[in-house]
Amino acid sequence: MTPAVLEDPTVVPRSPERLARQPLTHVRRFDLKTRLLHIVIMVTFLGLSATGMPLLFSDAPWARVLASLFFGFKGAGYVHRFLGATLLLAVVVHVGDVLVRAFVRGEKGVLWGPTSMVPQPKDVVDFFGMLKWFVGLGPRPKIEHFAYWEKFDYWAVLWGTAIMGAAGLILWFPVLASRVLPGWMFNVALFVHGAEASLAIGFIFAVHFFNGHLRPGKFPMDLVIFTGTVSAHELEHERGAEFDRLCAARSLDELGAPAPSPALVRRGYVIGTIGLSLGLALFALIVYATVR
Amino acid sequence: MRIRIGSLIAAAWLVAGPAAAGQSSSPKPPANDDCLACHGEHVDAKQFEASTHGPMACVDCHADLAKQVDFPHAEKLAKVKCASCHDDIATKYHDSMHAWAKEKAGLIGAPACADCHGKHDIRPHVDAQSRVFRTRIPETCGSCHAGIKEQFDRGIHAAKLKVGDSRAPSCADCHTAHAIQRVDTNTSKLAVTAECGTCHAQVVDSFRRTFHGKVTEIGFTAVAQCSDCHGAHEILPAANSASKVSKAHLVETCGRCHQGANEQFVKYDPHPNPSDYTRSAVLWWANRFYWVLIPGCFGFFGLHSALWFWRGRKES
């Protein structure tokens, strides 16, 4: 089937020769910065989970084994704090970047609009549309640039990093923290760090994995976060509202891109497979510890 | 034990009896009265008969005299081998610090069986007159470990033992009776914390909710356990100003690990309970909050995913 982007009259190839070689069958979705941020979050999140879970589930039979992979709780602790600081830094840099884009460079559509991460009225409509579609009472709603479940993921990471980062820093530097906080806040910090971790780990390894990768239509994984581009055909199917908007604004050509190289696709599969496997393995350990 | 020893003797007779009958030349072992004829001053016959080994013959333990013909016997006798009956206990003892000190390190003062249990007056540990009866154990151990006993006597456990509280721990409850280990080993440190929990179950449960408790639960001892804060022998309630965990001493006690700990720092609760509102309202609210948030998120997206999966399968 010919990708819709090529049938669209708005597509004006910049170089006919190049287009013949590399037809612009895809649409750019994630820039390099975003994909790197996802890799950093992915690596740090997996590492933080693996090094934190021995303590969170200290009564599980695998807790000691998991800790020994990092040369005991001290080794796991060093890795945990290093990754935690890295994740915190990455998220701070990202938030700084968003703020600069919105307020310094005056980029449109960051804080509000169809491409914004900020929840829109349309998200509520989409949610009920999805429910209707689930039970067979309507067509699949046309989703915009970010779906409501993706926005939930995004804000969950920001919220989670802020909460867990703050709690983690208190636990990392308790004596310093006690200059401004009473000691019982260490209790609260440890509890919140653990509870938020349970939520985050469960959410990423079950909900995000399903919505982003494992669900029907995406299985076994969605490579867009690794390659940066999505095929125009998939965009039309998955994000009808965005596709329509881009077509109407005649801006599909601006976002057009050739299909990702086989090497990039392969790299995406390798990274995605490792990430998904490790995440599901850790999730299985939690399920085992919980139901045992 | 009595039954076992009895049957051992009976078995010995069954085996030895017919053999003895066949060899008329084999000597008759000396009876207890024969021994006491000479050793009556050294061994109190009444005390021995009242002891747990009372029904036994002298030569059951002093086995090298069982075949002795000429008396008086040599001055130096073979060592009594308690292990010939109590082999399970002897195995534990041989792996212990005491056996190591005596047998390997050559510390002649280190105790063997008789040093704790006595010789001819051994009584079962449930007998209040026994040297190893729980209220008398500190005295027995203290005959060598005098300094530790002095510390122990100042603590709440000794006070409870003295008034006859049978639940109060004596030395052997934490250190074990026979398999005594060095207290600076990982295994013995971890075992002692578990031991505190046999009486202070809720306290150890709450400790397990803390960083200290979780690290020790997976087998590492670099962080505080019970005795690091409460002391080992002179444990006192926090209300007692001499206690290491009293208000007066907390900064010092926490500061041993957390250099720079101050009055604010020691408001930390080493035994938190998120379901106890009076202990910490903030922790209680945090617990409530996550009890709503976590099931809420998983319930919502669990259902969302299930429906999506169902619809996706139908459409494909």
Place of tokens 């005594």: B180
Of A51-55, B12-16, B78-82, where does mean pLDDT reach its minimum? B12-16
Q: Do B307 and A134 touch (CB under 8 A)?
A: yes
AA identity, residue B72: P
Q: Output the pLDDT for position B22.
A: 44
Please report the pLDDT score of residue A4 as a whole number.
Answer: 41
Which pLDDT belongs to residue A22? 72
Per-residue pLDDT of A167-180, as tens digits, reads: 999 999 999 999 99
**Preceding amide of B72 cis, omega within 30:** yes
CB contact under 8 A, B286 and A174: no
Count Cβ atoms within 10 A of the Cβ of residue A220 and give its class: 0-12 exposed, 13-18 middle, 19 or more buried.
exposed
Given a contact cutoff of 8 angstroms between Cβ atoms, the answer to whether A5 and A24 are in contact is yes
How many folded domains does chain B comprise?
4
Chain B residues close to A80, C-beta within 8 Å: none
By Cβ distance, the residue of A171, A178, A203 closest to B265 is A178
CA distance A14 to chain B (A): 37
pLDDT in tens, B263-274: 999 999 999 999
Cβ atoms of residues A257 and A24 within 8 Å? yes
Rounded Cα gap, residues B93 and A191, in angstroms: 43
Residues B299 and B255 reside in one and the same domain: no
Is A174 in contact with B309 (Cβ distance < 8 A)?
A: no
Same domain, B176 and B190: no
Which residue from B minimizes the CA distance to A212?
Answer: B305
Give B77's pLDDT tier (boundaries 50, 70, 90).
Answer: confident
Query: A residues 24-63 near B, CB within 8 Å?
Result: 54-56, 58-59, 63
Q: Check CB contact under 8 Å for B312 and A59.
A: no
* B49, B80, B111 - which closes a domain: B80
Rounded to two decimals, the ipTM of the complex is 0.87
Judged by CB atoms closer than 8 Å, whether chains meet at A191 and B272 is answered as yes
The 10s digit of each residue's pLDDT in B156-176 is: 999 999 998 888 999 999 898
Amino acid at residue number A20: A
Confidence band, pLDDT 50/70/90 cuts, at residue B25: low
Q: Which of A36-45, A152-161, B34-43 has the lowest average pLDDT?
A: B34-43
Mean pLDDT along residues B282-288 = 97
Full domain range(s) for residue B189: 182-272
pTM of the predicted protein model: 0.84
Of A181, A88, A183, A199, residue with least CA distance to B210: A183
User: What residue of B is the nearest CA neighbor of A218?
Assistant: B312
Q: Give me the pLDDT at residue B314, please.
A: 85
Minimum mean pLDDT among A2-16, A80-94, A255-269, B216-230: which range?
Answer: A2-16
What's residue A162's pLDDT? 96
* B261/A178 Cβ within 8 A: yes
Q: What are phi and psi of B140, to 5 degrees?
A: -65, -50
Which of A58, A191, A206 faces B286 most closely, judged by CB atoms? A191
Of the candidates A182, A188, A216, which has its C-beta nearest B286's C-beta? A188
Structure confidence at residue B217 as a pLDDT band (50, 70, 90): very high
- Closest approach of A55 to chain B, Cα-based (Å): 6
Closest C-alpha to A160, from A91, A244, A83: A91
Average pLDDT over residues B109-122: 92
Q: How far apart are CA B71 and CA A273, in angstroms?
A: 87
- Provide the 10 A C-beta neighbour count for residue B26: 13
Partners of residue B315 in chain A, C-beta under 8 Å: 216
Question: Quick one: B170 and B187 in the same domain?
Answer: no
Average pLDDT over residues B145-164: 94
At residue B10, does pLDDT exceed 70?
no
Taking only residues 182 to 201 of chain A, the set having a beta carbon closer than 8 angstroms to any beta carbon of chain B reads: 182-188, 190-192, 195-196, 198-199
Tell me the pLDDT band of B316, cut-offs 50, 70 and 90: confident
In the listed set B80, B112, B134, which residue is the last one of a domain according to the structure? B80
CB-CB under 8 Å, A185 with B294? no
* pLDDT of the residue at A18: 62
Residue B222: list chain A partners with CB under 8 A: 73-74
A2-33 confidence digits (pLDDT tens): 344 444 434 444 566 666 667 788 999 999 99
Residues of chain B contacting A178 with CB distance shorter than 8 Å: 261-262, 264-265
Residue A26 DSSP SS3: strand
* pLDDT value at residue B187: 85
Instruction: Flag if A190 and B290 touch (Cβ within 8 Å).
Output: no
pLDDT tops 90 at residue A183: yes
Domain A20-291 listed as CATH 3.40.50.970: no
Mean pLDDT of chain B: 88
B29-43 mean pLDDT: 86
Report whether A190 contacts B211 (CB < 8 A).
yes
Q: Are A188 and B282 within 8 A, CB to CB?
A: yes
- Among B211, B265, B311, select the one facing A134 at the smallest CB separation: B311
pLDDT band at B51 (very low <50, low <70, confident <90, very high): very high
Mean pLDDT rounded to a whole number for chain A = 91
Q: What is the pLDDT of residues A101-135, one digit of tens each?
A: 999 999 999 999 999 999 999 999 999 999 999 99
- Tens of pLDDT, residues B61-71: 998 888 877 77
**Pairwise CA distance, residues B92 & B83, whole Å:** 11
Q: Which residues of B touch A63 (CB under 8 A)?
A: 217-218
Domain boundaries, given as residue ranges, for chain A = 20-291
pLDDT in tens, A146-171: 999 999 999 999 999 999 999 999 99
- DSSP code of residue A111: S
pLDDT value at residue B31 = 85
Q: Within this chain, do residues B150 and B173 fall inside the same structural domain, yes or no? A: yes
- Segment A223-278, tens digit of pLDDT: 999 999 999 999 999 999 999 999 888 888 788 888 899 999 999 999 999 999 99
Statement to judge: residues B233 and B258 lie in one domain: yes
